[in-house]
């Protein structure tokens, strides 16, 4: 092999010369923003290129390869160099930060931040060693690279899922420690200013596994684009995409459970029968303030506004339950009533008198068919805005299309936007956005809110349009749609193979 001597140990030149993974990832984001795509095709950042290797140039192989074949080799080589970059950053996280903070943090705190790193570091070392055996002279063997990726996903997916599931708790713990523990904050500052960290914060290192596991399917997709009929690339893409889906689901479940525990500590049942709130199948769908309006049309005089009594409420809608509460403090709520979600109806109020005051706009009717006392209760509620009203109406009475193909058609024929400024959800029905994320838009509201589906993982929710810019390049849009189709087809193929293997067994 031409390249074994370069990467035959952990201190090899490849690991030393590749940039830290944060800089590689930053170059990927910048490229996606520039081209309006999240595909792995063009070289990213200052990483080593296959065609620049002395062994490749000396072999004369460049003169005999087509442009397509050279791009395929670059795509294969990026799998190797990006893994080397990731491993370099992962080692710095483990050897510099984890060891440096071991004497400062309590064992429980240290384990929450760094306890899941060792399996990921070992998995990366095994993958890089396996990729080293993919060389066939100056060329990388596509089958060997794809087989290495597929086995990496199947053997180490659980380690990624475990780490990513606790990412939210990890972030909160780090913020709490730096805010409440001066000794931790001081030690962390000393570690972060070390020259080998190159100005990077600990938080950026803790994000590495999540960033890597979401990048790997895009690298596999780049291989599949160059060889569309490649079964190894398709199998690798399907396996990696499944790991990403499991990581997202694990993180989502953990975040939901933590949110439910927090909500349960803020509620008090005094005015109605208490219900047990914590359940593995229950999570928050939407919460927020609404105003209950009582219209007294008998007190209306000629030419004057209708008199309205207003009561501030705060609603919690879970997957199977609606709580009607009243806020009693900064983070404390008294439960006034509750109702199973399938016993709730909501519809726009069409029989209101004219000349309502401004405080009684954006109204809809909420009916509890069987409340906590077994009675039917009707409420006229005012939302803060027209989009807030629409969002409440949607989650209380979800729209169902009579045509099963309608939603698919809308996904293929809808505007697309790209995130320019990251957005953190404020409500459970909102969509988290990172820079360069591409979103299919299914609905636009006049007050600047969009509802859409994130292309990279299919997550759906609301987000402010001000954080995005609309994509107008039809070629870019069609390329993104093809990417999504390939991801879905790869996942479907993998699931079909798994079902076939189970039936044969």
CA distance 176 to 173: 5
SS3 call for 419: strand
DSSP letter (8 states) at residue 95: I
DSSP letter (8 states) at residue 62: G
Phi, psi at 3, each rounded to 5°? -115, -5
Instruction: Output the pTM of the full model.
Output: 0.73
Q: Is the pLDDT of residue 20 over 80?
A: yes
Q: Stretch 472-499: mean pLDDT, rounded?
A: 65
Q: What's the distance, CA 348 to chain centroid?
A: 33
pLDDT band at 445 (very low <50, low <70, confident <90, very high): confident
DSSP letter (8 states) at residue 340: E
pLDDT for position 366? 92
CA distance 79 to 244: 17
pLDDT band at 8 (very low <50, low <70, confident <90, very high): very low
DSSP letter (8 states) at residue 144: H
Higher-pLDDT residue of 432 and 34 is 432
Phi, psi at 383, each rounded to 5°? -90, 170
Q: Lowest-confidence range among 107-116, 173-182, 382-391?
A: 382-391
pLDDT for position 404? 47
The Cβ of residue 136 has, within 10 Å, a number of other Cβ atoms equal to: 12
Find, among 157, 319, 186, 173, the residue nearest to 253 by Cα. Answer: 319
DSSP letter (8 states) at residue 11: T
Q: What is the DSSP string of 449-488?
A: EEEEEETTT--EEEEEGGGEEE---HHHHHHHHHHHHHHH
Q: Is the pLDDT of residue 39 over 60?
A: no
The Cβ of residue 496 has, within 10 Å, a number of other Cβ atoms equal to: 11
pLDDT for position 479? 56
Which CATH number is 4-264 given? 1.20.900.10
Which CATH number is 406-504 given? 2.30.30.40
pLDDT for position 352? 59
Residues 6+ apart with CB under 8 A from 436: 28, 29, 32, 33, 38, 418, 419
pLDDT of 237-263, one tens digit each?
999 999 999 999 999 999 999 999 999
**Contact criterion met (CB below 8 Å) for 75 and 226:** yes
**Token pair recorded at residue 298:** 């008998």
**Residue boundaries of the structural domains of the chain:** 4-264, 270-396, 406-504
Which CATH number is 270-396 given? 2.30.29.30
DSSP letter (8 states) at residue 94: I
Looking at the chain, the whole-number percentage of residues with pLDDT higher than 90 is: 57
- Max Cα distance, the chain (Å): 95
């Amino acid at each position: 092999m031409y390249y074994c001597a370069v990467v035959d140990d952990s201190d090899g030149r490849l690991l030393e010369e590749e940039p830290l993974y944060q800089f590689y990832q930053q170059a990927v984001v910048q490229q996606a923003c520039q081209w309006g795509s999240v595909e792995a095709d063009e070289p990213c950042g200052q990483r080593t290129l296959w065609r620049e290797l002395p062994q490749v140039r000396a072999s004369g192989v460049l003169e005999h390869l087509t442009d397509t074949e050279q791009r395929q080799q670059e795509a294969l080589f990026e799998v190797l160099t990006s893994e080397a970059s990731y491993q370099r950053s992962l080692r710095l996280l483990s050897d510099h930060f984890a060891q440096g903070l071991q004497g400062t943090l309590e064992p429980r705190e240290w384990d929450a931040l760094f306890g899941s790193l060792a399996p990921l570091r070992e998995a990366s070392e095994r993958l890089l060693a396996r990729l080293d055996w993919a060389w066939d002279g100056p060329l990388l063997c596509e089958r060997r690279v794809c087989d290495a990726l597929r086995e990496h996903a199947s053997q180490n997916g659980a380690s990624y899922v475990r780490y990513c599931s606790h990412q939210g708790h990890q972030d909160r713990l780090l913020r709490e420690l730096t805010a409440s523990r001066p000794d931790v904050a001081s030690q962390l500052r000393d570690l972060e200013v070390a020259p080998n960290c190159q100005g990077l914060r600990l938080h950026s290192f803790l994000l590495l596994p999540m960033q890597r596991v979401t990048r790997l399917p895009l690298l596999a997709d780049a291989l599949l684009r160059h060889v569309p009929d490649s079964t190894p690339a398709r199998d690798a893409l399907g396996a990696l995409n499944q790991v990403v889906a499991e990581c997202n689901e694990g993180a989502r479940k953990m975040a939901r459970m933590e949110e439910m525990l927090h909500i349960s500590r803020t509620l008090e049942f005094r005015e109605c029968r208490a219900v047990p709130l914590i359940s593995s199948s229950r999570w928050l769908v939407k919460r927020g303030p609404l105003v209950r309006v009582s219209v007294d049309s008998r007190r209306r005089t000629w030419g004057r506004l209708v008199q309205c009594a207003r009561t501030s409420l705060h609603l919690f809608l879970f997957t199977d339950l609606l709580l009607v509460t009243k806020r009693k403090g900064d983070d404390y709520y008294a439960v006034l009533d509750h109702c199973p979600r399938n016993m709730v109806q909501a519809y726009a109020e069409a029989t209101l008198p004219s000349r309502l005051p401004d405080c009684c706009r954006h109204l809809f009717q909420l009916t509890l068919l069987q409340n906590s006392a077994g009675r039917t209760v009707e409420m006229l509620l005012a939302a803060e805005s027209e989009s807030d009203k629409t969002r409440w109406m949607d989650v209380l009475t979800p729209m169902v299309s009579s045509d099963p193909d309608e939603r698919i058609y809308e996904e293929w024929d809808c505007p697309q936007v790209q995130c320019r400024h990251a957005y953190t959800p404020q409500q459970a029905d909102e969509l988290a956005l990172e820079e360069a994320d591409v979103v299919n838009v299914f609905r636009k509201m006049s007050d600047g809110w969009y509802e859409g589906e994130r292309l990279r993982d299919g997550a759906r929710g609301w987000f402010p349009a001000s954080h995005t810019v609309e994509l107008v390049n039809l070629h870019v849009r069609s390329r993104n749609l093809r990417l999504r189709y390939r991801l879905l087809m790869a996942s479907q193929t993998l699931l079909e193979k798994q079902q076939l293997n189970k039936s044969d067994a």
